């Protein structure tokens, strides 16, 4: 348990938040396009695959930091 | 010889411990990916992209948005703890749990309708209930873990130097979201 007063890094928090929100906007836009395609095209499997892959990669990279797994510190 | 003398030689390097934890978690997530992969393959093997006309695509979209928002909120909670913002951590973690619960209620509503529209004994129903059930189970376990981390955070645990507990649980929650990103089009869109 922490008993000492902690230093709050406001600038670091703001910068990381900005990155997360940009990723969120991309996810939102891709989800909307995905839904539009699915409800307008007869066989939407192939056209939708890139959107699913892109959304998955955004979550893995921006939120789960997959590229940092094997780097020192890892985050 | 005192206990202190015996243990004084062993001081674990916390960066190595954190790295080992992360690799361990990723290996677990890879094993989970195979589990979901098997269930997803079963859907395409048994019924291809066949889906019933009664599917409520709009409701599924709303569920997707709720889960995506909860993932963003979980990211903000983790970021808040990384930079020692305890109040923001508590706020965003509570928000994540709230949206996770809302998602779970939505899934419950969806299941109560689906059981009549495409029962589990039908071709599509089998895949649907398998995938939705497996995912809902992960949502429940994720929410439990998030609740524990929130409780510990309120009690004063974690800081920017030691927030592995938060990071691990939030990564798991993102994985639950990632699984839904694939399950959602598989069941409702393709």
What pLDDT is stored for residue B3 in this prediction?
47
Do B65 and A31 meet the contact criterion of CB atoms below 8 Å apart?
yes
A9 SS3 class: coil
- Which of B88, B171, B185 shows the shortest C-beta gap to A52? B185
What's the pLDDT tens digit per position in B66-91? 999 999 999 999 999 999 889 999 99
Q: What is the pLDDT of residue B84?
A: 87
pLDDT digits (tens, 9 = 90+) for A24-70: 999 999 999 999 999 898 888 899 999 999 999 999 999 998 888 76
What is residue A72's predicted lDDT score, i.e. its pLDDT? 55
A21 inside 8 A of chain B by CB: yes
Who among B49, B167, B181 is closest to A56 (CB)? Answer: B181
Q: Does B117 touch chain A (CB under 8 A)?
A: no
From the candidate CATH numbers 3.40.50.12280, 1.20.120.80, 3.40.50.720, 3.40.50.620, the one assigned to the domain spanning B13-47+61-189: 1.20.120.80
**B32–chain A Cβ distance below 8 A for any pair:** no
Alpha helices, DSSP H, located in B48-122: 57-82, 86-117
User: Does residue B3 or residue A20 have the better pLDDT?
Assistant: A20
**Partner residue facing B76 (CB), from A8, A20, A27:** A20
| Angstroms from A13 CA to nearest CA on chain B | 6
Alpha-carbon distance of B45 to B155, in angstroms, equals 49
Interface check for A46 against chain B (CB to CB < 8 A): the answer is: no
Asked if A6's CB is within 8 angstroms of B160's CB, the reply is yes
- Asked if the C-beta of A22 comes within 8 angstroms of chain B's C-beta atoms, the answer is no
Question: Rounded to the nearest 5°, which phi and psi values hold at B158?
Answer: 75, 150
* Residue ranges covered by each domain of chain A: 12-68
> In this predicted structure, what is the pLDDT of residue B100?
96
Q: What is the pLDDT of residue B38?
A: 94
- pLDDT-derived band at B4 (thresholds 50, 70, 90) equals very low
Q: How far is B108 from chain A (nearest CA, A)?
A: 22
Task: Say yes or no: A33 contacts chain B, CB-CB below 8 A.
Answer: no
Q: What is the pLDDT of residue A60?
A: 94
- Say if the Cβ atoms of A12 and B83 lie within 8 Å: yes
A40 touches chain B (CB under 8 A): no
On whether any CB of chain B is under 8 Å from the CB of A38, the answer is yes
| Residue B44, helix vs strand vs coil | helix
Q: Is B49 helix (H, G, I), strand (E, B) or coil?
A: coil
- Using DSSP's 3-state secondary structure scheme, residue B159 falls into strand
State residue B9's pLDDT score.
60
* Cα distance between residue B77 and residue B88, in whole Å: 7
pLDDT one-digit tens code per residue, B98-135: 999 999 999 999 999 989 888 888 888 999 999 999 99
- Best to test chain A binding among B71, B96, B180, B189 (most A CBs inside 10 Å): B189
pLDDT band at residue B93 under the 50/70/90 scheme: very high
| pLDDT value at B45 more than 70 | yes
Task: Judge: A48–B189 Cβ closer than 8 Å, yes or no.
Answer: yes
**What percent of chain B has a predicted confidence (pLDDT) above 70?**
93
């Amino acid at each position: 348990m922490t008993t000492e007063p902690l230093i709050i890094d406001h600038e670091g928090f703001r910068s990381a938040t900005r990155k997360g929100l940009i990723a969120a906007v991309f996810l939102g836009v891709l989800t909307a396009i995905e839904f539009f395609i699915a409800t307008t095209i007869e066989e939407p499997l192939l056209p939708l695959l890139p959107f699913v892959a892109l959304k998955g990669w955004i979550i893995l990279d921006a939120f789960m930091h997959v590229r940092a797994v094997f780097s020192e510190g890892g985050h | 010889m005192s206990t202190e003398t015996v243990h004084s030689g062993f001081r674990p390097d916390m960066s190595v411990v954190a790295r080992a934890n992360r690799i361990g978690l990723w290996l677990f997530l890879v094993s989970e990916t195979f589990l979901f992969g098997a269930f997803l393959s079963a859907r395409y093997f048994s019924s291809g992209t066949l889906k019933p006309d009664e599917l409520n695509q709009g409701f599924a979209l709303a569920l997707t948005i709720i889960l995506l928002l909860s993932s963003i909120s979980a990211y903000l909670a983790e970021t808040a703890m990384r930079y020692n913002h305890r109040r923001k951590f508590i706020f965003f973690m509570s928000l994540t749990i709230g949206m996770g619960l809302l998602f779970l209620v939505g899934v419950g509503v969806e299941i109560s309708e689906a059981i009549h529209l495409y029962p589990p004994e039908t071709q599509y129903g089998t895949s649907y209930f398998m995938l939705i059930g497996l995912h809902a189970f992960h949502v429940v376990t994720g929410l439990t873990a998030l609740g524990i981390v929130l409780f510990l955070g309120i009690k004063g645990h974690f800081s920017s130097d030691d927030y592995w507990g938060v990071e691990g649980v939030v990564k798991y929650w993102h994985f639950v979201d990632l699984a839904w990103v694939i399950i959602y089009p598989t069941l409702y869109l393709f």
